[in-house]
Amino acid sequence: MNNTPERADLAAASGFLRKNVSLLPEVAVVLGSGLGGFADKVDVKDAVPYSDIPGFPRSTVEGHAGRYLFGYMEDVPVVVMQGRVHYYEGYSMDQVVSPIRLMGILGAGKLILTNAAGGMGEGFDVGDLMLIKDHIALFVPNPLIGPNDEFLGKRFPDMSRVYDPALLDVVRRAAEKVNVELKEGVYVQLTGPSLETPAEIRLLQKLGGSAVGMSTACEAIAARHMGMRVCGISCITNMAAGLQKEERRDSDSARGTYVEGEDEDILTHEAVQEAAMAAGERFSALLSESIREISVFRVS
Ligand code: HPA
């Protein structure tokens, strides 16, 4: 099969990577905010900053290092995106998903997406890890809008099973093995960058959402378009707006009574990163075991 895309930007970037890396990946991993520590588990052969890749979008968010790592987890060739680009940074959806497409073009048939997310599912708490069973991407532009590139995939790709049932089972098994509790639910992608209002969160709960964030679903769509097998894990770094314990306790503030500290931000990016790092070890253990299971069970 011809493995050079027709699109000049993807052809140039994939040509550059083929020349500059020493292995072709089977499994691709995207590390979300504060979850970059997993990279320590990879026997890294090549680190490629996004800024070296021709035409590649650069992440501008603090805590997103912005590079591809090519290497091995045990004997599985992997590519890890340490940092991603987001729609709210001003890139088009097409640019946002191009790093995912590149990993697919290089040969990664399986993709593990991770993110930091606000929790809104029943029984969810800060620090939970959630297996993404499905997503709602209706609030962001579709990354496939524009002329369809037949090299990548077909015009109207099926989204009945974005998150691959076999890969979901792999992650469930891995969670049992490493003794990590795994919630399951529906991820909702919004554009950000402002966080949600409590009323918006109540709406998203009614729609069936369990976690909310600003990434992932668009990447999953682009990956499915190419026929990659996808799974995803959210790290619940905070309860979503209106659902924090302090707020629920503090109903006086809703009535307009002065409450000490009322003016301070309730949700901050720093707190999100801290919570993600606190979950880092469990998260890394789950991810490593999942990759091991993928290779042992030869999910292909
Ligand atoms: N909302 C949106 N995105 C997020 C959140 C949140 O509460 N936490 C981490 N990413």
Pairing of strands 43-49, 27-31: unpaired
Residue type, 59: S
Q: Is the pLDDT of residue 149 over 60?
A: yes
Mean pLDDT within 96-117: 96
Whole-number pLDDT of residue 247:
57
Is residue 269 very low, low, confident or very high in pLDDT (cuts 50, 70, 90)?
confident
Ligand 1 pocket list (CB less than 6 A): 116-118, 195-196, 212-214, 237-238, 240, 267, 272
Higher-confidence position of 240 and 274: 240
Distance 208 CA to ligand 1 centre (A): 16
275 token code pair: 């919570």
290 token code pair: 């999942």
Residue nearest to atom 6 of ligand 1 (CA): 118
Query: What is the secondary structure of the chain as a DSSP string?
Result: ---S-SSHHHHHHHHHHHHH-S---SEEEEE-TT-GGGGGGSEEEEEEEGGGSTT-----STT---EEEEEEETTEEEEEEES---GGGT--HHHHHHHHHHHHHTT--EEEEEEEEEE-STT--TT-EEEEEEEE-TTS--TT-SS--TTT--SS---TTSB-HHHHHHHHHHHHHTT--EEEEEEEE---SS---HHHHHHHHHTT-SEEESSSHHHHHHHHHTT-EEEEEEEEEEEPTT-SHHHHH-GGGGGT---TTTTS-SS-HHHHHHHHHHTHHHHHHHHHHHHHHHHHTT--
Is residue 1 very low, low, confident or very high in pLDDT (cuts 50, 70, 90)?
very low
Rounded to 10 degrees, what is the CA torsion of 287, 288, 292, 297?
-10
Least confident interval from 57-66, 125-134, 153-162, 189-198: 57-66
Q: Is the pLDDT of residue 258 over 60?
A: no
Distance 31 CA to ligand 1 centre (A): 15
Whole-number pLDDT of residue 62:
57
Mean pLDDT within 187-204: 97
Is residue 300 very low, low, confident or very high in pLDDT (cuts 50, 70, 90)?
low
Pairing of strands 67-73, 129-136: unpaired
Q: What is the mean pLDDT of the chain?
A: 89
Q: Is the pLDDT of residue 186 over 90?
A: yes
Residue nearest to atom 10 of ligand 1 (CA): 117
Distance 216 CA to ligand 1 centre (A): 12
User: pTM here?
Assistant: 0.92
Is residue 236 very low, low, confident or very high in pLDDT (cuts 50, 70, 90)?
very high
Residues 67-84: tens digit of each pLDDT: 999 999 988 999 999 989
Whole-number pLDDT of residue 239:
95
